[in-house]
Structure 1
Amino acid sequence: MLFRAAVFAGLAALALAGCTTPGARIPNATPEEIAAAAYRHPGPPAITLYTMINNRTDAGAHSSMMINAPSQRVVFDPAGSVRADYLVEADDVLYGITPRIEGFYERAHARETYRVRIQRIEVPPEVAEQALRLVQGYGSVPHAQCTVATSGVLSQLPGFEGIKNTWFPVKLADQLAEMPGVTERVLREDDADDKALAIAAGPGDQPNQ
């Protein structure tokens, strides 16, 4: 009973923090749309963990990650809310992550009430490809389970064996921070506290190269 109560308490806390997908889901992109959107980034294979943090309480609100694999670059946005008809998405994987879309994705989450902790670690090509396969095969993630999904994928990768499954975004980020080779930055913006406005505005004049 105590364990069950703790689980429900964790779910409630994450739901309040914003690790949910409001409203109806957009239908999955077709295989043809996904293939057409595929983008290969010239940088080294890497995994970037995004942690959205409430500026008032310092509580984690959402976890997601970008995977730069040799075959293509994607964002795994489990139970996320960055969805629009100009984004190519299937089962919580966003495709076509050009520098323009990358910048838009990061800035869509940063506003006066939330900051984004961004941690990047370079990995061997085969590890990046394994991460890509795992997120593509994970399926649509239930509400409030963004960090469970993200930590679950990371913990299966060679070199990430020390990552433990967790419900809590900041705890996952703190675990990753202990790994050698991780670089970190924090994105802060003073946009109004309405992410829907940023999503509706789209990538705008974000750099495309």
Structure 2
Amino acid sequence: MLRRILIALALPLFLAACGADNKFASDEAVRAVQYRSTEQPSISLMTVIGLNRGEGGHSALLINGSQQIIFDPAGSFEHPRAPERYDVLYGITPEMRNVYIDYHARDLPGERYYVALDTVPVTREVADAAIRAAENNGAVNKAFCAVGVSNVLGSVPGFQGAPGGFSPIRLREWFRTLPRVQSTEFRDNDPRLVHGDLLRMKDGSIEAYDR
């Protein structure tokens, strides 16, 4: 209950507008948390979608290659075990992926969103090319999340047709036309997720901690 009250009071505009930052975690912090998944290499588009009107609130990429990262352009997510470097989040274990999704999937007055996850299996080489593109992209300005994702995808083999523009929904519609795409959705209190136990405010930001 406390979690929901804090979110309702502190995040009225974060998802709709997408945040912005220029964080740069140290090499030591990034190396310490690197996670390599045993699952098939893949590129997943994560889209935060409004429950009321179906509007797109945010776009991000989950990339599973030589390590698993989240490219969170102009995102507001923070976690002490997911160091960030220019919109790239490291240390994305399955649990941290779920914490990230749970952070965005919520059903509160004025904050009603679910998360769509669309995944395309790729080779390790393609996944690593996507990771490099995300790392080389640099920090993305506020409200340019879909633009940032499109820029990264557009430089990756097999994804060059990514549409430009500011619409997470348009980007998702295109992504779902790709061969072998698999889609799922996550809503608030989804039992598949590791739900955040505490959100605390620090200098105007929100930090999520898992249980």
TM-aligned CA deviation for residue 19 of structure 1: 3.5
TM-aligned CA deviation for residue 201 of structure 1: 4.8
Q: Give the AA of the match of 2:47.
A: T
CA distance 1:197–1:137, shift in 2 (3 Å):
same
Report what 2:10 is aligned to: none
1:203 to 190, 204, 210: 210
Report what 2:5 is aligned to: none
Stretches of structure 1 that go unaligned for 5 or more consecutive residues are 1-14, 205-209
Report what 2:140 is aligned to: 141
**Bigger fraction of residues in strand:** 2
CA distance 1:103–1:171, shift in 2 (3 Å):
same
RMSD of Structure 2 on Structure 1 (CA): 2.1
What are the residue-to-residue correspondences of 1:51-66 with 2, within 5 Å? 51-66=47-62
- Separation of aligned partners in 2, 1:81 and 1:50: 14
- Separation of aligned partners in 1, 2:189 and 2:128: 36
Cα pair 1:77 1:146 within 8 Å, conserved: yes
Q: Give the AA of the match of 2:210.
A: P
What are the residue-to-residue correspondences of 1:32-71 with 2, within 5 Å? 32-69=28-65, 71=66
TM-score (norm 2): 0.80
CA distance 1:79–1:201, shift in 2 (3 Å):
closer
- Separation of aligned partners in 2, 1:105 and 1:201: 8
TM-score (norm 1): 0.81
**Bigger fraction of residues in helix:** 1
- Separation of aligned partners in 1, 2:126 and 2:64: 10
User: Are residue 103 (structure 1) and residue 98 (structure 2) matched?
Assistant: yes
User: Are residue 166 (structure 1) and residue 161 (structure 2) matched?
Assistant: no
Report what 2:118 is aligned to: 119
- Separation of aligned partners in 2, 1:122 and 1:151: 18
- Separation of aligned partners in 1, 2:161 and 2:120: 15
Count of aligned residue pairs for this structure pair: 183
Q: Give the AA of the match of 2:36.
A: R
Secondary structure (helix, strand or coil) at the match of 1:18 reads helix
CA distance 1:16–1:82, shift in 2 (3 Å):
closer
- 1:144-172 Cα offsets, whole Å, 9 max, x none, are 10000101111221111322212100000
